[in-house]
Structure 1
Amino acid sequence: MISTNKHRFFLSLFFFISGFSFSTWASRIPTIKTALSLNEAELGTILLAMPVGSLIGLPISGWLVSKFNSRVPLTVGYGLNALSLALIGFAHNTFTLVIAISLFAFTTRIFNISVNTQTLTLQKQFEKKIIGSFHGFWSIGGIAGIGLSTLLLAFNVSIMLHFSIVAVFMLIITIYSYQFLLKGDRSETGNKIVLSKPDPYIFYLGVVVFLCAICEGGMFDWSGIYFQEVLQVEIFTYGYLIFMTFMAASRFLSDIIIARFGMPKTYIMSAVCIVSGIGLAIIVPTFWTAMIGFSLVGFGTASIIPMSYALAGASTKYSPGMAISIIATYSITGMLLGPPLIGYLAHAFNLRVSFIIFGVCGLLLVPITQLFFRHQMSLKSTKG
């Protein structure tokens, strides 16, 4: 029998390679932009392929998790994601790039729903909160991916070889780790979306995740461009690296912070970090102020989605897998609007002005989270 700690280790490993894969792609976006001679608006349009692919994968991932044990779509999703990452590296025109990015996003959505379903199931076997640490390993994987990208950029390694190496690494880990994933986690109830008036509990969480996704998606896709074009930094991965580093630190600390201050205050602290960080980066556009600003944004955004997923898993209307799938719809919509919106605003005005949208999203987090917790309290008082 496999111990809970071993399950936790290999789930953490999957989060790690997920972050590694995503940051590998995102950190080389400036390389792709330059290679294909794209302007900001054109890049923004191409980046639409990510959320569109995710939206296509969303109902399929929800169905797979409700139909099978989550480890099956998780493993298949990771394997196909590795292959689609390699395809991005070999894309030499916008058409093949869009196809490869769409496949990458589609498979990302499949394993994302599956791996988060596994974590919610495993959480029930632990007294202390452990969900934040899983997302922390995603960020650690992201840092490792950026670190490798920075190293390979310094040695002028081609994107084709870079992405192929990462793809092989992912495939080996995925095949070996399958045996250590949780079995029998398919829920027998709450697996169908009820077409009725939106459930306020899920709706408020969805809006919170939507706002966070605009910030995360925009920072993932545009931080390198910001350092390259606004700050004129030759090694453009610095901004993305500091963002991911503080995101990782925040996620490993999030369980402790939540235990100390509670989720309502943690959401507010997150919002303050996002607003102050992005304000510093765009008002004083120098290398070190941007580094400090991006670190604050990373620290602020990090705990929002793990907290929201954990709260969604406590829904009385839907199973954990279906609740996360619904919440992910809002997240994907944020990813859909965020990066292209930044691209179009940057093309119309400039990149500094476009980053104001992150501050607006950070401010909106405060009233929306307050509405959610008031609703949660009303549900508890009604049951009581």
Structure 2
Amino acid sequence: MPYGPLPGPADTGPGTLNGRARPSETPDSPAAAAPEARRAMNSRQILITKEVCLMTRDLRTARNGAVLTFLLGGLMVGTMTVRIPALTDKLHLSEAMIGTVLLVWGLGALVTMQAMRPVMARAGSRTVLRVGGPATAIGLVAVAFAPNLPLLLAAAALFGMAFGMIDIAMNAQGSTVERVHGRPLMNGMHAGWCVGAIAAGAMGALSIVLGLSFTANVALVGLVSLPVMVALGRTYLPDTPAAGSAGAARRRLPPIVYLLGALMFFAFMVEGTVADWNGLFMRDTLGAPEALAALGYPIFEAGMLIARLTGDRLRSRFGVRGMLTVSGLATAGFFAVVLAAPAPMVALVAVFFVGLGVATISPLTLSLAGTATDTPGPAIAQAGAMGYAGLLLGPVAIGFLSDATSLRTALGLAVVLGLLIAATARFLPREEPVATPPAPVREPAAVG
């Protein structure tokens, strides 16, 4: 038979072709292993895709958590500051007494901030926020119910110390999120603060219209903020491994951190002056009704919000040094308009532009401090402590200067501070330091 015998049962199957074996598909051949390799590769790709999705979700959650923390911080502090005129009426306080209350609040924050450098290096921002956030809300409730000046001073100290914890920690957490994302985000996070402060001002004005007391307004905000702060504890990213080393707390910081701290000192003096004294200036010097005077702070924060929402893009285009110089000059010029305003509405418009001018100074300086070393926490703690020394001294100095001269004259200090910001910014390097991306640290059980 020309074609040979037909294949038997042993000659048929997947390894034969017309009775001949397929030598390329033996069990040990690469072709036979290819489907298994493809399946293994597909499985790895699926796992990698799932991991990327989980990390992206965690980073988005962490960013949102940081923004909400800034928002609640602005809401709580703004609620107290916007109702300072009502607090003076409730406890019959003079301007010097209010200055003392603000001094105690600022000292509490400053003492905590000075202690934060080693704490941040060892515990990290996430742990500090989980403790300090709820404590800040409790401190605000204590301020609301204080029945006399001594207890108010004690409550202000507690509120200030707790706020000092979260202020440093939320900026360090923001720096960690910013470094992981690899692009400027700090101005956007500080915009959350502005949203909270604007909400505080709007709620304060509404409370005045509705006849709500200082106690009712402030206590409500504190009691609502408490459970939210607890819930936000699960959203924070852990710090980089280097940030937890004991050596990071003892390491000498580069000189630029202290220069940035000086800029924060001047900027926070201006912000504190507007927050604590603008309402009284509007009411007592310009003759504005209390409800209109209460709008000065949220209008100031509205200007800050707009500037911070665009600040990250402007930073990428113009650089930090140029932005800080223009910000200082704008702050000085528009605050001079506030002081020379012939009517409350003119001052309200001018204070909006003061907010535009001063808004990006603190987020820019804190962001640069976070890139000055490989461990952002201690550097931010140092710059933040210097900044809050300005927040402490500014309103207090205004209080005592106004007793000696007049409130309008005392507020002229803010014009000088704006000029100092513009001059000091010229000492910054032209090129920004390059941020080193932190080592990936992910704990899905704690972040989400």
Which range, TM-score by smaller chain? over 0.9
CA distance 1:367–1:193, change in 2 (3 Å): farther
Alignment check: 8 A CA contact 2:370 2:380 kept: yes
Distance (whole Å) between structure 1 residues aligned to residue 294 and residue 200 of structure 2: 11
1:240-288: per-residue Cα shift (whole Å, max 9, x none)?
1211111111111111211222111111111122111111111124112
Deviation (angstroms), 1:163: 1.9
Deviation (angstroms), 1:128: 3.0
Aligned identity (percent) is 27
Distance (whole Å) between structure 1 residues aligned to residue 230 and residue 423 of structure 2: 44
Out of 392, 412, 416, the residue aligned to residue 360 of structure 1 is: 416
Give 2:267's aligned residue: 212
Give 2:404's aligned residue: 348
Alignment check: 8 A CA contact 2:401 2:407 kept: yes
Whether 1:3 aligns to 2:58 is yes
Distance (whole Å) between structure 2 residues aligned to residue 364 and residue 36 of structure 1: 37
Give 2:19's aligned residue: none
Alignment check: 8 A CA contact 2:202 2:295 kept: no
Out of 140, 164, 171, the residue aligned to residue 219 of structure 2 is: 164
Alignment check: 8 A CA contact 1:264 1:373 kept: yes
Distance (whole Å) between structure 2 residues aligned to residue 176 and residue 291 of structure 1: 37
- With normalisation by structure 1, the TM-score equals 0.93
Whether 1:191 aligns to 2:251 is no
Give 2:125's aligned residue: 70
Out of 385, 403, 424, the residue aligned to residue 329 of structure 1 is: 385
1:310-363: per-residue Cα shift (whole Å, max 9, x none)?
1111213x6210001110121121012100111111111111111110000000
What SS does the corresponding residue of 1:128 show, helix, strand or coil?
A: coil
Distance (whole Å) between structure 2 residues aligned to residue 180 and residue 164 of structure 1: 26
Distance (whole Å) between structure 1 residues aligned to residue 393 and residue 114 of structure 2: 19
**Could you say which structure has the larger radius of gyration?**
2
What SS does the corresponding residue of 2:249 show, helix, strand or coil?
A: coil
Give 1:133's aligned residue: 188
Distance (whole Å) between structure 1 residues aligned to residue 127 and residue 251 of structure 2: 25
Whether 1:143 aligns to 2:191 is no
Residue type of the alignment partner of 2:67: S
Alignment check: 8 A CA contact 2:116 2:378 kept: no
Out of 100, 103, 109, the residue aligned to residue 158 of structure 2 is: 103
Give 2:356's aligned residue: 299
Distance (whole Å) between structure 1 residues aligned to residue 339 and residue 275 of structure 2: 17
Distance (whole Å) between structure 2 residues aligned to residue 360 and residue 98 of structure 1: 30
Out of 133, 136, 145, the residue aligned to residue 90 of structure 1 is: 145
Distance (whole Å) between structure 2 residues aligned to residue 74 and residue 302 of structure 1: 24
Give 2:337's aligned residue: 280
Alignment check: 8 A CA contact 1:277 1:292 kept: no
Give 2:310's aligned residue: 253
Give 2:284's aligned residue: 229
Distance (whole Å) between structure 1 residues aligned to residue 422 and residue 217 of structure 2: 41
Give 2:46's aligned residue: none
What SS does the corresponding residue of 1:38 show, helix, strand or coil?
A: coil
Deviation (angstroms), 1:52: 0.7
Deviation (angstroms), 1:177: 2.0
Alignment check: 8 A CA contact 2:325 2:426 kept: no
Structure 2 regions of 5+ residues with no counterpart? 1-53, 435-448
Distance (whole Å) between structure 2 residues aligned to residue 251 and residue 238 of structure 1: 20
1:91-137: per-residue Cα shift (whole Å, max 9, x none)?
12111111111111100111111111111111122243111100001
RMSD: 1.9
The worse-fitting range, judged by mean Cα deviation, of 341-350 and 176-185 is 176-185
Out of 322, 345, 366, the residue aligned to residue 265 of structure 1 is: 322
Alignment check: 8 A CA contact 2:86 2:213 kept: no
CA distance 1:175–1:200, change in 2 (3 Å): closer
Deviation (angstroms), 1:372: 2.2
Give 1:22's aligned residue: 77
The worse-fitting range, judged by mean Cα deviation, of 277-286 and 14-23 is 277-286
Out of 280, 297, 322, the residue aligned to residue 240 of structure 1 is: 297
- With normalisation by structure 2, the TM-score equals 0.80
